[in-house]
Amino acid sequence: MITVFFGGSRSVSLLSSQVQDRIDNILSKGLNIVVGDANGADRAFQAYLAKQGYTNVMIFCSGKVCRNNLGIWKTTFVATDRAKFDFQHYAKKDARMADEADYGFFLWNGKSRGTLNSILMLLKHRRPALVYLAPKKRFLTLKELADLERMLNECDPATLKLLRPLVKEDSRPVAQRSLFG
């Protein structure tokens, strides 16, 4: 069965009618959905799925605590050895979801490192992602790392500078260099 990774930024908590239409399309196909437990996009996805009575959902939580499970769905707890709940703590959960997913559907604010990291993990597994770029109110389909580069070109330069540490530049000549190696 095909599995879709639903994720996104904590600052994106409202689902536009365009986003709901895309979710409804996924639900009409009976696909499995994996979603995290954070506030923001994860919680908004969960609320919509619960309202629709959708049952093919697995909630992924970091450590031993699940912050949100609005539909009382099955839960996967991802062990972490982090002493504090930081980027790496939650990235382990996201990596597990990326491993299990065939596709991704993300609501991105154009700034969130966690969401960008999840998208990057899927693309490195050669799995496509549909990204709703909230500031631009439009969808982008990413199938390869070059698509991610084009999406990032729409970010402001200050944000792009902060996001670069997530990606590696390679040693090829600048003209051939990809941001993501």
Mean pLDDT computed over every residue of the chain: 86
Q: Specify if 158 maps to a domain.
A: no
The pLDDT, as a whole number, for residue 180 is 38
Look up the domain containing 22 and give its range.
3-149
Residue 122 covered by a domain? yes
Residue 58 resides in a domain: yes
* Confidence (pTM): 0.86
Q: Please tell me the predicted confidence (pLDDT) of residue 157.
A: 79
- Specify the CATH number for the domain of residue 62: 3.40.50.450
Instruction: Give residue 113's identity as a one-letter amino acid code.
Output: R
- Reading the block at residue 160, the tokens are 């792009």
Q: Does residue 23 lie in a domain region?
A: yes
The helix or strand, by DSSP H or E, that contains position 20, with its residue range, turns out to be helix 17-28
Bigger pLDDT: 168 or 177?
168
Inside any domain, residue 178: no
Q: Count up the domains in the chain and report the number.
A: 1
Q: Is residue 155 assigned to a domain?
A: no
7-49: pLDDT as tens digits: 999 999 999 999 999 999 999 999 999 999 999 999 999 999 9
Cβ contacts of residue 102 below 8 Å, gap of 6+?
Answer: 2, 3, 4, 127
Domain membership of residue 167 (yes or no) is no
